[in-house]
């Protein structure tokens, strides 16, 4: 499904500020994989997300989606395969447009945008049906401006917009980190439900160790631009936070340094 071959990325190459963001990354995702990604500050988690989605281009290496090389494609061109939810609840929706208009834009993900109306009666019914899956009453507020919604509601809408067209790959970039605990729990359980129901191939960055262990069928840990630990489904079943931390210390020789880490 997703193949990342030998990807490296340097920031500020050749200057005193040179920083290795990613070095020799190999990652292969099977269809239906739900991989959680953890790692210390500056480990390269966000860079990896940005390389997959095409926001930044790697210095070396290949990115393949469904057997097709996408290295030369811009972010907007890759969107036909990739749905993405950002950390900032404000980032995934257009605040001055209505809920139904936001959904209409997501509905055309990766397709040509022409002169047919974005919101039609048929589509509105579809949007209502999809919104009711969230269970937070948004289906009755189709014409409300998204800017009027709370952070949690906006993030739930972002999640729906990223997934309801069934993208081949779903990227979740710490998408619960900016929410209060109750809202974060809601989004986490919605994520679990949607990914399971639609069988989406998912890559989720998180700072929440407990969440990283509980969700998904595979866990990878990154440090200094490399994947240092790759835990498969079997071993993940009886993984604990303590064991994960001690494995990290053994491999990297340092303590996990993440100022935002949540142990759960």
Partner 1 sequence: MELFLKIGEGSIQLGLLYALLALGVYITFRILDFPDLTVDGSFTTGSAIAAVMIVHGFSPWLACLGAFAGGLVAGACTGLLHTKGKINGLLSGILMMIALYSINLRILGSPNVSIFGSDMVFDHISPITLMLIIVIAFKLLLDAFLRTDMGLALRATGDNKQMIRSLGANTDTTTIIGVSLSNGLVALSGAFVAQTSTFADATSGIGMIVIGLASVIIGEAIFGAKTVFRATLAVILGSIVYRIVVTAALRIEWFEASDLKLITAVIVIIALVFPAVRSKVKQKGLAKKRSAELLSNIQTAPYSKPTGGEQ
Cα–Cα distance, 70 to 6 (Å, whole number): 15
Query: By CB under 8 A, which span of 117-125, 176-184, 212-220, 227-235 interacts with partner 1?
Result: 117-125
Residue 138 DSSP code: G
Q: What are the tokens at 138?
A: 């948004």
Residue 149 DSSP code: S
The neighbour count for residue 69, using CB atoms within 10 Å, is 12
Query: By CB under 8 A, which span of 30-38, 41-49, 73-81, 128-136 interacts with partner 1?
Result: 73-81
The neighbour count for residue 216, using CB atoms within 10 Å, is 23
Q: Which of residues 21-60 bind partner 1 (CB under 8 A)?
A: 53
* CB closer to partner 1, 80 vs 133: 80
**Strand 169-173, strand 60-65: pairing:** unpaired
CB of 80 to partner 1, least distance (A): 6
* CB closer to partner 1, 23 vs 178: 178
Determine the size of the site formed for partner 1 (CB under 8 A): 34
Cα–Cα distance, 44 to 190 (Å, whole number): 26
Which has the closest alpha carbon to 172: 73, 52, 259, 59?
Answer: 52
Query: By CB under 8 A, which span of 60-68, 85-93, 195-203, 227-235 interacts with partner 1?
Result: 85-93
The neighbour count for residue 133, using CB atoms within 10 Å, is 17
Query: By CB under 8 A, which span of 26-34, 98-106, 196-204, 222-230 interacts with partner 1?
Result: 98-106
Asked if 148 interacts with partner 1 (CB under 8 A), we say no
CB of 125 to partner 1, least distance (A): 17
Asked if 95 interacts with partner 1 (CB under 8 A), we say yes
Give strand pairing partners of 176: none
Applying CB under 8 A, among 32, 42, 110, 151 the residue interacting with partner 1 is 110
Could you identify the residue written with the tokens 């490399």?
A: 226
Cα–Cα distance, 152 to 157 (Å, whole number): 9
Which has the closest alpha carbon to 79: 113, 33, 30?
Answer: 113
Q: What backbone torsions phi and psi does residue 121 show, to the nearest 5 degrees?
A: -60, -45
CB of 222 to partner 1, least distance (A): 22
Applying CB under 8 A, among 10, 23, 56, 91 the residue interacting with partner 1 is 91
Q: Which of residues 149-168 bind partner 1 (CB under 8 A)?
A: 161
Q: Which of residues 210-249 bind partner 1 (CB under 8 A)?
A: none
User: Site residues (CB under 8 A) for partner 1?
Assistant: 53, 74-77, 79-80, 82, 84, 86, 90-97, 101, 104-106, 108-111, 113-119, 161
């Amino acid at each position: 499904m997703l193949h990342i071959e030998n990807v490296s990325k340097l920031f500020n190459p050749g200057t005193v500020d040179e920083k290795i963001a990613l070095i020799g990354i190999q990652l292969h995702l099977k269809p239906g994989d739900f991989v959680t990604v953890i790692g210390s500050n500056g480990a390269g988690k966000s860079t990896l997300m940005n390389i997959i989605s095409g926001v930044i281009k790697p210095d070396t290496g290949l990115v393949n989606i469904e057997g097709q090389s996408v290295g030369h494609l811009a972010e907007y061109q890759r969107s036909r395969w990739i749905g993405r939810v950002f950390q900032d609840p404000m980032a995934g929706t257009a605040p001055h447009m209505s809920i139904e208009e936001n959904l209409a834009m997501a509905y055309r993900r990766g397709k040509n945008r022409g002169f047919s109306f974005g919101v039609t009666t048929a589509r509105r019914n579809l949007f209502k049906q999809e919104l009711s899956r969230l269970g937070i009453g948004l289906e009755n507020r189709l014409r409300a401006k998204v800017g009027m919604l709370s952070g949690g509601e906006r993030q739930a809408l972002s999640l729906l917009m990223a997934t309801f067209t069934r993208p081949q790959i779903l990227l979740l970039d710490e998408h619960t980190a900016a929410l209060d605990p109750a809202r974060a729990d809601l989004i986490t359980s919605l994520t679990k439900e949607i990914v399971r129901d639609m069988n989406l191939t998912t890559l989720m960055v998180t700072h929440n160790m407990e969440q990283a262990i509980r969700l998904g069928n595979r866990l990878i840990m990154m440090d200094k631009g490399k994947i240092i630990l790759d835990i498969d489904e079997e071993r993940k079943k009886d993984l604990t936070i303590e064991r994960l931390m001690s494995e990290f210390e053994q491999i990297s020789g340092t303590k996990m340094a993440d100022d935002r880490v949540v142990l759960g």
